[in-house]
Structure 1
Amino acid sequence: MTTIRLARPEEHPIIGEISVSAYEEADNIPADGSYYSVLRNAADRAAEAELLVALDGDKPVGTVTLVRPGGRYSEIARDDELEFRMLAVAPQAAGRGVGRALVDAVFERARAERFARVVLCVQERAVVPRGLYERMGFQRLPERDWSPTEDIHLLGYYLDL
């Protein structure tokens, strides 16, 4: 069974490595390699946003970062929207519902804080995550699509709560 909770400081290094592994597995790293340091720096995400961890027993197997509008990690969130970023599942835990459990935790937090909408960006070529989000009811938000680098095109998605 997967447990989701706030990440603890001692888990930050492994969460960073899970993030890197998942993004490498999905071929989701810009060619210039600049995103590695962002993915590895789970401590900064925990300080500047809200870092959740998915556990299998006591072993971290996934993570997601919750971002409020106007926060340093916010990319597309507007007032009344909770954004999530850097959802990552350890490759060895893929296909076991960890990603879905993390997104469900995002919904739970958004409802508890009375956000009207959840938003995210996902790499255009990230077929598996896009499929998960679409099966969970997310819809395209093309007016918020953007490209942080020449080789990465991010697609906006939303789900009204």
Structure 2
Amino acid sequence: MSMTTAKLRDYVPQDAAALGNVALAAFEQFKDTYSDWPAMAAGLTRMGTLAEAGEIVVAEDDGRLVGGVAYIGPHKPKAGFFDPAWPIIRMLVVTPLARGQGLGRRLTEACIQRAERDGSPIIALHTTPIMDVALPMYLRMGFVRLRAAPDIHGVPYGLYTKALG
């Protein structure tokens, strides 16, 4: 699979099932780390519902979804540990077969561009040290740990922000 051919595009409702499958595949390696994997998995398969509060960008390669991310803009509904004024990045997912080719970075950059479009001085996300590829990528891109975020099914998370502009 050649990811150089992956195209980013806006999510459409018909992508819901495929996007849920991508999210599930992306998190599968962590299934033994979460205390309630069935609940976590159920949430992952509903990733498309994030389109209700924000914008989802998907990565498509040869007609198949291989990644996605949700951008939730300023003052849109989000978890209470985020400042409501901050745009946030949610659920960056790339299928295992499509990893290592810069797709996660491209999807993250798509969110940063939307935050800049929205005139925000900052963008935020939450992630966990078990994400041993995503977390170092975020740090290389200029995200800085602000504080702890609530655990998700027993896994510790941190809140990270990046100054824009």
TM-score (norm 1): 0.88
**SS where residue 147 of structure 1 aligns?**
strand
Q: Taking structure 1 as reference, are residues 28 and 88 closer, same or farther at Cα in structure 2, changes over 3 Å only?
A: farther
Following TM superposition, where does structure 1 have runs of at least 4 consecutive aligned residues deviating by more than 6 angstroms? none
**SS where residue 39 of structure 1 aligns?**
helix
Shift of 1:27: 4.7
Alpha carbons 1:80, 1:116 under 8 Å: kept: no
TM-score (norm 2): 0.86
Identity %: 26
Alpha carbons 1:67, 1:85 under 8 Å: kept: yes
Q: Taking structure 1 as reference, are residues 54 and 65 closer, same or farther at Cα in structure 2, changes over 3 Å only?
A: same
AA aligned opposite 1:47: E
Q: Taking structure 1 as reference, are residues 61 and 75 closer, same or farther at Cα in structure 2, changes over 3 Å only?
A: farther
Query: Which aligned pairs between 1:126-141 and structure 2 lie closer than 5 A?
Result: 126-141=131-146
* Structure-2 residue corresponding to 1:21: 25
Deviates more, 1:13-22 or 1:69-78: 69-78
Structure 1 gaps, min length 5: none
Q: CA separation in 2, counterparts of 1:156 and 1:54?
A: 25
Q: CA separation in 1, counterparts of 2:84 and 2:149?
A: 18
Query: How many residues are aligned here?
Result: 159
Structure 2 gaps, min length 5: none
Aligned counterpart in structure 1 of residue 6 of structure 2, from 2, 5, 18: 2
Shift of 1:57: 3.7
Q: Taking structure 1 as reference, are residues 113 and 72 closer, same or farther at Cα in structure 2, changes over 3 Å only?
A: closer
Alpha carbons 1:49, 1:73 under 8 Å: kept: no
